[in-house]
Amino acid sequence: RDDEDLENVKEALQGLELDPNTRPSKFSDLPLSQRTAFGLQQSHFKDLTDIQSRSIPAALKGKDILGAAKTGSGKTLAFLVPVLELLFREQWSKQDGLGALIISPTRELAAQIFEVLRKIGRNHLPSAGLIEGGMNFKEEAERIPFMNIIIGTPGRLLQHMDRTPGFSVGNLQVLVLDEADRILDMGFQKEVDALVDHLPTARQTMLFSATQTKKVSDLARLSLKEPEYIAVHQEA
Ligand code: ADP
Ligand code: MG
C-alpha cells in the first residue's frame, strides 16, 4: 500500500506548481500521503488557512520557509504536515534515528505541537517525543535514541546535545524553529545558534514567527537557505 502511495505522492509532487494564482484551498488539494490525508480527516481539518495554503506547497517541494503570520493563523500544521510528508517520502523507520527537530520557546507550546502531531500523525510509523525539561534528565536521555521526531525547548535540547550520547543528529532531515520571535525574546539566541551549529547543513529548515523583527531576520539569515518568504496580513 505504501509503495503505491509513495509513487503517487512523488509524481503528484513533481507536477505541483507553485503558482500564486492557483493556491490550494483544501488539504485534499495537496499531494499528501494517504496516512497524512486520513489523519487530517480524522482530526476534522479540511480547509487550509492562508499561511498553510501558501507555505505547505513550497515546503513539500523541499524549500526552506520563512513564515510570518499572527497567532492563531495555523502555523503548527503549516510545518507539521511537511515534516510528516518528508519522513514518509524517505520511508523513515525507527532505525533511521532522528529525522526532524522542532524547537519551541516554551514547554506549554511544545506540548501543544506534540498533541497536534499525535492527532494528525496517528497513521504514521515514525515515533515522536517531547523534550522539555518536565522529566527526569536521565529518563529523557534514555528515550531520545528511539525518537524520530523531537519537539523541545532550546535550553533542554542543548543540554542533551552536549551530554546525551544517544542524541545523534547526523541523519537529521528537517529543522523547525517555531515562534522564533518568542524564542529570541526569551533570550535563547545562544542556545539556538549552538543547536543549529551542530546540525547537518543539508537539511530543510522552516522558521515561523508571529512578528517579523530584526532578530528574527538575523536568525533566518544564519539558519535558512534561499527561503520562501511568506508573510500573511500583518494586522488589520
Ligand atoms: P499559530 O501557531 O499560528 O498561533 P495554531 O497552529 O496554534 O496557530 O492554530 C490555531 C488554531 O487554529 C488551533 O486551534 C488549530 O486547531 C486551528 N486550526 C489550524 N489550522 C486549521 C485548519 N486548517 N482548519 C481549521 N482549524 C485550524
Ligand atoms: Mg504556534
Domain boundaries, the chain: 2-231
Rounded CA gap, 53 and 116, in Å?
18
Nearest CA to ligand 1 atom 15: 74
Nearest alpha-carbon partner for 191 in 157, 217, 218 = 157
Atom of ligand 1 nearest to the CA of 70: 3
Binding site membership of 49 for ligand 1 (Cβ less than 6 Å): yes
| Other CB atoms within 10 Å distance of the CB of residue 217 | 16
Nearest alpha-carbon partner for 6 in 81, 72, 78, 86 = 86
Is pLDDT of 1 > 80? Answer: no
CATH among 2.60.120.280, 3.20.20.10, 3.40.50.300, 3.40.50.720 for 2-231: 3.40.50.300
ipTM greater than 0.95: yes
Question: What would the pLDDT profile of 103-144 be if each residue is shown by its tens digit?
Answer: 999 999 999 999 999 999 999 999 999 998 777 999 999 999
**How many whole angstroms from 15 Cα to the centroid of ligand 1?**
28
Strand, helix or coil for residue 68: strand
Q: What is the mean pLDDT of the chain?
A: 95
| Per-residue pLDDT, 235 | 53
Rounded CA gap, 44 and 38, in Å?
10
| Other CB atoms within 10 Å distance of the CB of residue 188 | 21
**How many whole angstroms from 114 Cα to the centroid of ligand 2?**
12
| Other CB atoms within 10 Å distance of the CB of residue 224 | 21
Ligand nearest to the CA of 105: 2
| Per-residue pLDDT, 118 | 98
Grid cell digits, residue 2: 505504501
Binding site membership of 73 for ligand 1 (Cβ less than 6 Å): yes
Binding site membership of 21 for ligand 1 (Cβ less than 6 Å): no
Is pLDDT of 199 > 70? Answer: yes
Q: Which residues surround ligand 2, an ion (CB under 5 A)?
A: 75
Which parts of 78-184 are beta strand (E)? 100-103, 128-131, 149-152, 174-177
Ligand nearest to the CA of 77: 1
Grid cell digits, residue 178: 517555531
In angstroms, what CA-CA distances link 235 with 73, 173, 179, 185, 212?
12, 33, 17, 20, 12
**How many whole angstroms from 1 Cα to the centroid of ligand 2?**
33
pTM of the model: 0.97
Atom of ligand 1 nearest to the CA of 49: 23
- In the chain, the percentage of residues whose pLDDT exceeds 90 is 93
Radius of gyration over alpha carbons of the chain, in Å? 17
